[in-house]
Amino acid sequence: MTRHELPQGMVRAPSLTGPNDGYMPGFGNDFETEALPGALPQGMNSPQKCAYGLYGEQLSGTAFTAPSHQNERTWCYRIRPSVKHSGRYAKLDLPYWKSAPCIDPDVISLGQYRWDPVPHGDQPLSWLTGMRTMTTAGDVNTQVGMATHIYLVTQSMVDEYFYSADSEMLIVPQEGRLRFCTELGVIDLEPKEIAIIPRGLVYRVEVLDGPCRGFVCENYGQKFELPGRGPIGANCMANRRDFKTPVAAFEDRETPSTLTIKWCGQFHSCEIGHSPLDVVAWHGNYAPVKYDLRTYCPVGAILFDHPDPSIFTVLTAPSGVPGTANIDFVLFRERWMVAENTFRPPWYHKNIMSELMGNIYGQYDAKPQGFVPGGMSLHNMMLPHGPDNKAFEGASNADLQPEKLDNTMSFMFETRFPQHLTPFAANEAPLQDDYIDCWDSLEKKFDGTPGVK
Ligand SMILES: [Fe+2]
């Protein structure tokens, strides 16, 4: 028997299970993958000469000395080192893609805001030209805070590549299918899925099925991670195995191309003579990932009351203050409502955190009308919000049988920092001027007499 043969009668599993073709399961795993056999050095990172004449290069996603449980880096074995993908930079103007701080003295951010879906225009737009910043928070130069964008994409990037040195990008599609061809592999993305593209990773975005619209959270701070589950234990909410990282894929294309870099809130481009997507093999734990939101297992109230919405956190990006996120990504999806003698929708609320919500599909339970798929709302720091009158009356008088909330998927980007509206969000996007009126018809029920009203 050779060392590769199993004992007689023993059956070995295939190396991948389920619908994992092209992806490797796990969140923050130490992956290894090679598009050509033997391209990945074994047992070391920097051989004197790499196989196939490749160059070894490390991509450090955290400081060298970051704590071990947070330390992220990936070793790439590529046709050319990344420094060959750079050159003389020329400033590029992308007027709709803003970075924090973006505080316009003529724009008021103090308020409750809601927008209809930003419509597609007539002009073809790419991932870069189609990005529309709605809010910014914090400061891109000190690497705290975030920005929220809507993307409107109808055109593939051709011989055009991009990376953000400022941020990792959390992408939440609402309409259409996109393909992210990255240095570390290919992610196909559609509504009900999300993806994270790490800071510094080069990619181009192609339209598989357009027009495409969705939401982006640009995280300037510490990377997204899975929230601690506390007493919930080892399972439910987002499970690590449901995150998928692409296997290595490269192209050896010598074509005049453009690389655009977002750096400290500015955009610069340079001309290169080839595709930078030339990583043949890689290993490490700093990599793009996608996740199917339908695998999120919600946990909630099973007798009375309901927990804070943090119970629905998919991913959290910590700040320096324990438990106070730079960003939480929170999902409100289909679930059963069973609590007895309880006002079941979200309660009325004032929050030190700033809450930006988006609707992926269906109807949100606290707002039966007006908050439509593709639409967004913003309830900024310490500004009150809650169910509108129709939701309040409906929930207050409902026969509290077990009820399935079906056909609903909304999310929240919640940050510890106030979110400032961009001029686009205030003046060009379809802001609902009458949003504040949705609470007008809430009645005074108190008349000084005891008893339930
Ligand atoms: Fe809230």
Right CATH for 296-439 from 2.60.120.10, 3.40.50.300, 3.30.1330.40, 1.10.1740.10: 2.60.120.10
Note the pLDDT of residue 14.
78
Q: With 90 as the cut, is the pLDDT of residue 364 above it?
A: no
CA nearest 161: which of 191, 132, 134, 197?
197
Planar angle of CA 70, 73, 79, nearest 5 degrees: 170
Note the pLDDT of residue 227.
97
Question: Does the pTM exceed 0.75?
Answer: yes
Query: What is the whole-number distance in angstroms between the Cα of residue 56 and the centre of ligand 1?
Result: 47
Note the pLDDT of residue 259.
97
CA nearest 77: which of 115, 122, 46?
46
Q: With 90 as the cut, is the pLDDT of residue 368 above it?
A: no
CA nearest 300: which of 324, 327, 328, 330?
330
Beta-carbon neighbours within 5 Å of ion ligand 1: 349, 351, 355
Domain-wise residue ranges, the chain: 296-439
Give 1's pLDDT tier (boundaries 50, 70, 90): low
Query: What is the whole-number distance in angstroms between the Cα of residue 385 and the centre of ligand 1?
Result: 7
355 among annotated binding-site residues: yes
Please give the single-letter amino acid code of residue 339. Answer: A
% of residues, the chain, pLDDT over 90: 91
Q: Report whether 453 contacts 402 (CB < 8 A).
A: no
Query: Buried b vs exposed e over 368-394: b needs ≥16 C-beta within 10 Å?
Result: eebbbbbbbbbbbbebebbbbeebbee
Structure tokens at 128: 């870069």
Note the pLDDT of residue 104.
93
Q: What is the mean pLDDT of residues 246-275?
A: 97
Least confident segment among 9-18, 199-208, 366-375, 400-409: 9-18
Note the pLDDT of residue 58.
98
Average pLDDT of the chain to the nearest whole number: 95
Query: Buried b vs exposed e over 291-318: b needs ≥16 C-beta within 10 Å?
Result: bebeebeeeebeeeebeebeebbbbbbb
Give 107's pLDDT tier (boundaries 50, 70, 90): very high
Q: What is the mean pLDDT of residues 262-266?
A: 98
Note the pLDDT of residue 3.
67
Backbone angles phi, psi at 199, to 5 degrees: -55, 130
Query: What is the whole-number distance in angstroms between the Cα of residue 332 and the centre of ligand 1?
Result: 12
Q: Report whether 133 contacts 96 (CB < 8 A).
A: yes
| Alpha-carbon span 107 to 109, nearest angstrom | 6
CA nearest 137: which of 227, 200, 221?
221
Please give the single-letter amino acid code of residue 81. Answer: P
Q: What is the mean pLDDT of residues 428-442?
A: 94
Structure tokens at 153: 């994409």
Backbone angles phi, psi at 451, to 5 degrees: 110, 160
Q: With 70 as the cut, is the pLDDT of residue 327 above it?
A: yes
Query: What is the whole-number distance in angstroms between the Cα of residue 191 and the centre of ligand 1?
Result: 24
85 among annotated binding-site residues: no
**Long-range CB contacts for residues 106-109, cutoff 8 Å, separation at least 24:** 106/423, 107/420, 107/421, 107/422, 107/423, 107/425, 107/426, 107/427, 108/421, 108/426, 109/135, 109/380, 109/418, 109/419, 109/420, 109/421
Query: What is the whole-number distance in angstroms between the Cα of residue 373 and the centre of ligand 1?
Result: 19
| Alpha-carbon span 326 to 200, nearest angstrom | 20
Query: What is the whole-number distance in angstroms between the Cα of residue 325 and the centre of ligand 1?
Result: 15
The pLDDT tens digits for 151-174 are 999 999 999 999 999 999 999 999
Please give the single-letter amino acid code of residue 236. Answer: C
**Residue 403 CB contacts under 8 Å (≥ 6 apart), including other chains:** 336, 337, 338
Query: What is the whole-number distance in angstroms between the Cα of residue 338 and the centre of ligand 1?
Result: 21
The pLDDT tens digits for 288-309 are 999 999 999 999 999 999 899 9
Give 367's pLDDT tier (boundaries 50, 70, 90): confident
The pLDDT tens digits for 374-427 are 999 999 999 999 999 999 999 999 999 999 999 999 999 999 999 999 999 999
Q: Report whether 356 contacts 135 (CB < 8 A).
A: yes
361 among annotated binding-site residues: no
Note the pLDDT of residue 187.
98
Query: What is the whole-number distance in angstroms between the Cα of residue 353 and the centre of ligand 1?
Result: 8
CA 97 to chain centre: 17
The pLDDT tens digits for 113-142 are 999 999 999 999 999 999 999 999 999 999
Query: What is the whole-number distance in angstroms between the Cα of residue 159 and the centre of ligand 1?
Result: 43
Q: Give the residue, 18 or 208, on which the prediction is more confident.
A: 208
291 among annotated binding-site residues: no
Helix (H, G, I), strand (E, B) or coil at 192: coil
Tell me which residues are annotated as active site: 306
